[in-house]
Amino acid sequence: MKNLTIGDFLENEEIIKLIDFTLLKHEKKDDELEKFLLKAKKFRPKAICIFPEDIPSAKEILGSSIPIAAVVGGFPKGSSNCEEIVKEIRTAIELGADEIDIVLEPREEEDYPNELELEKLVAMREASEGKILKVIIETPLLTERKVRAVTRMSLAVGVDFVKTCTGKRGECKEIDADILSYELMRHELTFGECLGMKISGGISDKVKLMRFIELIRKNDSEIINGKRLRVGSSSLIENLITIE
């Protein structure tokens, strides 16, 4: 990918290189998974995002050509049990997952996030054994204060990507992308560590995506060049193909 500056409009193939191409259905039609994997093989997104049960089929069709992100620990709601979280992460890695996507379940209590979330984040980081870890914080369910607090806690623990939401309990909003990218910039300035973010939840067309990207790059101009931005979508690739 070429080096980009704020104001550049990404080409379709450049956007595809940001996408975690997603199929998250336990109940699928007979050939649905195969068609999804063959489409991934053809268009080569950044990664595919699937349940652990689908990893063997993905390995059979894709080999090691495209990273596999496994969604574990409950979806769309996150597990409250640290032992269960650790077990599912380790099982996914044993099956061949290269990356882990996992929900950090929000709470309505005013003290969220506290030591309960810290314990889960540490367990996630340790169990992922150095694999790329993307923690979903479910921004549609959180106030701005809580979004900032849980993002800072996640970055402090050392997650590789903070992800906006699953899309199952509300869509990603521009303010969410602005907050997360600001917190990434703040973390880099404070600790000298460059981490990433993933936006997902209702991002299905190029125009909408570019609005998000422009907001993000105003806070973190090198996020794309640094390969620290991901886009989670099940339909964006199809929509990019139709407008070529």
* φ/ψ of residue 161, rounded to 5: -140, 135
Of 46, 54, 163, 220, which is the active-site residue? 163
Instruction: Copy the structure tokens of residue 124.
Output: 């996630």
- CB-based burial, 148-165: b 16+ in 10 Å, e otherwise: bbbbbbbbebebbbbbbb
Of 120, 134, 146, 198, which is the active-site residue? 198
Collapsed DSSP state (helix, strand, coil) of residue 198: strand
Of 101, 160, 176, 220, which is the active-site residue? 101
Close Cβ partners of 87 (under 8 Å, ≥ 6 residues apart):
none
Instruction: Copy the structure tokens of residue 208.
Output: 């909408």
CA atoms of 20 and 236, how far apart (whole Å): 10
**Active-site residue, 206 included:** no
- Burial (CB < 10 A; 0-12, 13-18, 19+), residue 91, is middle
CA atoms of 14 and 1, how far apart (whole Å): 7
- Burial (CB < 10 A; 0-12, 13-18, 19+), residue 237, is buried
Q: Which residues are catalytic?
A: 101, 163, 198
